[in-house]
Amino acid sequence: MNIPQSLTVEQKDEILFVKINRPEKRNAINDELILGIETVFSNIPEGVKCAIIYGEGKHFSAGLDLSELKERDIVEGLNHSRMWHRALEKVQFGKVPVVAVVHGACVGGGLEIASACHIRVAEQTTFYALPEGQRGIFVGGGASVRLPKLIGMARMTDMMLTGRVITAEEGVLVGLSQYLVSEGSGLEKGVELAKKIASNAGMTNYALMHVLPRIVDSGQSEGLMLESLMATISSSTPEAQGRLRDFLEGRAKKVGE
């Protein structure tokens, strides 16, 4: 596997830790890094049930490495954006759910990476922005499709038109993150969530990753049919049957336990 030095990958039991490790450039994402992300998420090792992506240093990521933008022609620009799309499709529609743990700057392409993940945990230091507007460019890593689903089109438009910076506290209120934790405790929270995710039935995680987004993108009638099909398939797996029996015979945890 061709993984650059700026990406550190480590498997511990059922969790894969993926660290963006380029703190001297505030984890700005160059071509090598985005290709590395594609490789890692295309080759999730056997036994891994959840991945966590996070950043080294004071920031999650400063977004696209702007030094690589200078001399691209139009076709190269299109290929570059499509490369990001390909890589982040592997994150969103890969083999396992991905938790993003963010802190400091989570901006531009950094926010696009976080948006492709299934859950976001933000430390208090986090700030979100889409500086593309200020740089005279447009988002190119999938934000126009994924972000409005998290925060709505009006908020994304505001972020780009005015350069608005969203704080960690605002972020959890508007749906950018699902958890807000104190500085330095993001990874611990990420691991706690990853362990819960890893203990789910495989079919449930598969449905949430691969079917729910398609239902959301469908019309009501197609969506409801997809839901019925998925509900029927999932409840007839031996794993689901076992879990239902465990509950009915008093062996399973109650809600909240």
Report the distance separating Cα 246 and Cα 76, nearest Å.
56
Assess whether 132 carries a catalytic annotation.
yes
Amino acid making up residue 16: L
Residue ranges binding ligand 1HE (CB under 6 A) = 25-26, 28, 58-59, 62-67, 84, 105, 107-109, 112, 131-132, 135, 139-141
| Cβ proximity to ligand 1HE, 95 vs 103, nearer residue | 103
- DSSP assigned state of 219: -
| Cβ proximity to ligand 1HE, 12 vs 58, nearer residue | 58
Q: Is 121 helix (H, G, I), strand (E, B) or coil?
A: strand
Helix axes 109-116, 74-92, angle to 10 degrees: 30
- Catalytic pick among 14, 32, 38, 132: 132
List the beta bridge partners of residue 18. 9, 53
Report in angstroms how near the CB of residue 56 gets to ligand 1HE at its nearest: 13
| Cβ proximity to ligand 1HE, 141 vs 186, nearer residue | 141
Q: Which residue is nearest to ligand 1HE (CB)?
A: 108
Report in angstroms how near the CB of residue 49 gets to ligand 1HE at its nearest: 29
| Cβ proximity to ligand 1HE, 93 vs 138, nearer residue | 138
Report in angstroms how near the CB of residue 22 gets to ligand 1HE at its nearest: 9
- Catalytic pick among 112, 222, 227, 257: 112
Report the distance separating Cα 106 and Cα 100, nearest Å.
11
Report in angstroms how near the CB of residue 93 gets to ligand 1HE at its nearest: 18
Alpha carbon separation from 32 to 22, 54, 60 (Å, rounded): 11, 17, 17
The vertex-257 CA angle with 179 and 253, nearest 5°, equals: 125
Q: Count Cα neighbours of 60 within 13 Å in the Cβ-side half-sphere.
A: 35
- Give me the count of residues in the chain: 257
| Cβ proximity to ligand 1HE, 88 vs 98, nearer residue | 88
The vertex-211 CA angle with 209 and 217, nearest 5°, equals: 105
Assess whether 112 carries a catalytic annotation.
yes
Report the distance separating Cα 212 and Cα 234, nearest Å.
13
Structure tokens at 29: 């994402």
The catalytic residue positions are: 112, 132
